[in-house]
Structure 1
Amino acid sequence: MSVAQKDYKKVTVKTLSDMKAHGEKISMLTAYDYTMATIVDGAGIDVILVGDSASNVMAGYQTTLPITLDQMIYHASSVVRGVNRALIVVDLPFGSYQSDPKEALRSAIRIMKESGAHSIKVEGGKEIKESIKRILNAGIPVMGHLGLTPQSIYKFGTFSVRAKEEEEAEKLKADALLLQKAGCFAIVLEKVPAKLAKEVAESLDIPVIGIGAGNGVDGQVLVLHDMIGMTKEFHPRFLRRYLNLYEDMTTAISQYVDDVKSVDFPSDKEQY
């Protein structure tokens, strides 16, 4: 049964908690620049993630590892200037929080002060709990991320579904509870079995947002460029393409090239 969307003038971490309590699903997409953020926010999205996936879709890297803290702040600042309603979450990039809780806090403070974003996201559970506590103690909202954690891709060696085996599933459930107890306001579950994701979502008071985790969670997130079909080669099972902008943009640009070559553009009406 669907639940009608309420007219939240400004989405906050409390809003997300209220949405879970009322059974309203949470919508979340990525954005990395002002123009896209303006469109996504204006369309009514609840949460905008300035993801380290910018490393892939904006910079062309194969993994999320190369993107720097300075680059994340640049993307986050651009997004903040285009958003009026959505809650903005920013990924702490690889290497900025895992090894040293003090460094984690410095990284989180830089993002909050220099970009104006509303919260940060980190990947991992028990291994990074001290970093999470340090950030939360400074009053910075933290979103967790479990399951397939792209910053650890070389440890996994594959982008396949995580927590299919009982031992890893039990660890994921324990980590999810740990993140809630630590004070995280929400958790992303990426590429885990739908049954497990539903179990985790029902066991927690905080919202669980899925990507490749079935529909039994409290919300969904996709990478914007995948969802609107700007990317071409990425075809995971969980991705629904709502547009095919790769083909549409290619056709439009090709037409522009032809019009310039044939002196069809600009026409008499398109010059001064």
Structure 2
Amino acid sequence: MSVRPLVKETTPTGTGSLPTARKKVTIQSLHKQRASGIPITVMTAYDFPTARACDTHGVDITLVGDSLAQVCLGYDSTTRLTLPEMIHHCRAVARGTAAPFLVADMPFGSYFEGPKETMAAAVRMLQEGHVEGVKIEGGIEIVDSVRALTRIGIPVMAHVGLMPQRHTALSGYRVQGRTAQGAREILQAALALEDAGAFSMVLEAIPHELGAYITSRLKIPTIGIGAGPGTSGQVLVYDDVMATWLGHKAKFVRRFADVKGEVKKGITSYVDAVKDGSFPSVAEESYHMDPEQFNQFLEMMDDQSWVLRSSKAE
């Protein structure tokens, strides 16, 4: 297996471990974007190359989403993901992130026992995973934990509406807030989480009218995923954007590229070329030996005494 070293860019270096020509995205700059009406872009990443792609091509927030459980690890649910697994992927993404603000999902079960346990898990994600903030799914019931984290300086991105980690209790991935009472509960949760110190809020799978209304009521940026165009920004899963995910396509997903088709083309073309003998070519894809040296080598192979000496040496 031959892998070439990464050729580093010569552009000015940001606060991350890799060179970047972009300014570092901060919580302050995100709030300025919201105030200026400039939409915030968020995309998931689970490894170094995807993180570099997000960094290079203008993503504002890179999210190490717990969706990696399904799209990368083959689990049937995000609830299968463990804290050590999440930290492993966070470290890979952190190595490829310089400009975007880096957030990661707290895995299912890592923030349920109370503020003390939540703080311990979040500290591990910052210290070992090298992320800058954590995202937590939940409503009123996690307010104390969010407040505990923000009081010690750990940025929290809250997440209300559809909460994938609770899909079993919700009887599937269903749109939330379609009734007046349901919408009121989501708004109350969002306001309470903002008051607890959350720096931003993901609104997932809610009516666009509610998404716009909650955004108007909050003083922090809202990030929509299936919440309509009235939020402060949008987030999508990388594998949905690139059309590499083979599972269900949600209504709010738009596929912006056909990487799946290119992968199929690349692999099948490679297999065919090897099978029919057209790869590698002698002229362009093979190394060459000086003819005189090769002839000397053949003469050495014809020398039976050399063969005997070689066998004895072994």
TM range (shorter): over 0.9
Task: Please point out which of 25, 32, 56 is paired with 2:46.
Answer: 32
Task: Please point out which of 14, 17, 20 is paired with 2:34.
Answer: 20
Within 2, Cα distance between the matches of 1:158 and 1:233?
Answer: 15
2:211 — aligned with what?
197
Please tell me whether the aligned partners of residues 144 and 196 of structure 2 are also in contact (alpha carbons under 8 angstroms).
no
1:91 — aligned with what?
105
1:209 — aligned with what?
223
1:167 — aligned with what?
181
1:101 — aligned with what?
115
Please tell me whether the aligned partners of residues 157 and 201 of structure 2 are also in contact (alpha carbons under 8 angstroms).
yes
Please tell me whether the aligned partners of residues 28 and 48 of structure 1 are also in contact (alpha carbons under 8 angstroms).
yes
Within 1, Cα distance between the matches of 2:247 and 2:262?
Answer: 16
Q: Which residues of structure 1 form unaligned runs of 5+?
A: 1-6
Instruction: Write the mapping of 1:186-265 to structure 2, written as runs, cut at 5 A.
Output: 186-265=200-279
Tell me, what secondary structure is at the counterpart of 1:237? Answer: coil
Larger CA deviation: 216-225 vs 245-254: 245-254
Residue-by-residue CA offset, 1:129-173 (whole Å, 9 max, x unaligned): 111111112110000000000111111011121111111110100
Please tell me whether the aligned partners of residues 101 and 131 of structure 1 are also in contact (alpha carbons under 8 angstroms).
yes
Within 1, Cα distance between the matches of 2:139 and 2:22?
Answer: 31
Q: Which amino acid aligns with 1:271?
A: S
Within 1, Cα distance between the matches of 2:76 and 2:47?
Answer: 20
Task: Please point out which of 285, 289, 295 is paired with 1:270.
Answer: 285
Q: Is 1:69 the counterpart of 2:83 in the alignment?
A: yes
Tell me, what secondary structure is at the counterpart of 2:107? Answer: coil
Residue-by-residue CA offset, 1:222-257 (whole Å, 9 max, x unaligned): 000110111133221111101111122112101100
Q: Is 1:142 the counterpart of 2:151 in the alignment?
A: no
1:55 — aligned with what?
69
User: Normalized against structure 2, the TM-score is what?
Assistant: 0.83
2:195 — aligned with what?
181
User: Normalized against structure 1, the TM-score is what?
Assistant: 0.96
Within 2, Cα distance between the matches of 1:196 and 1:27?
Answer: 20
Q: Which amino acid aligns with 2:277?
A: V
Q: Which amino acid aligns with 2:179?
A: E
1:81 — aligned with what?
95
Compute the RMSD of aligned alpha carbons: 1.1
Deviation of 1:115 after TM superposition, in Å, equals: 1.6
Residue-by-residue CA offset, 1:100-120 (whole Å, 9 max, x unaligned): 211100000000001211100
Q: Which amino acid aligns with 1:58?
A: C
Which structure is richer in relative contact order (CA contacts within 8 A, separation 6 or more)?
Answer: 1
Within 1, Cα distance between the matches of 2:208 and 2:99?
Answer: 30
Q: Which amino acid aligns with 2:286?
A: Q
Deviation of 1:99 after TM superposition, in Å, equals: 2.4
Please tell me whether the aligned partners of residues 134 and 154 of structure 2 are also in contact (alpha carbons under 8 angstroms).
yes
Within 2, Cα distance between the matches of 1:246 and 1:157?
Answer: 30
Tell me, what secondary structure is at the counterpart of 2:134? Answer: strand
Within 2, Cα distance between the matches of 1:189 and 1:12?
Answer: 20
Q: Which residues of structure 2 form unaligned runs of 5+?
A: 1-20, 288-314
Please tell me whether the aligned partners of residues 226 and 234 of structure 1 are also in contact (alpha carbons under 8 angstroms).
no
Tell me, what secondary structure is at the counterpart of 2:41? Answer: strand
Deviation of 1:84 after TM superposition, in Å, equals: 1.2
Aligned length: 266
Task: Please point out which of 117, 133, 158 is paired with 2:131.
Answer: 117
1:3 — aligned with what?
none
Residue-by-residue CA offset, 1:157-213 (whole Å, 9 max, x unaligned): 111211111111101000110111111000000000000000000111100000000
Within 2, Cα distance between the matches of 1:79 and 1:98?
Answer: 25
Deviation of 1:8 after TM superposition, in Å, equals: 5.8
Tell me, what secondary structure is at the counterpart of 1:154? Answer: coil
Please tell me whether the aligned partners of residues 232 and 246 of structure 1 are also in contact (alpha carbons under 8 angstroms).
no
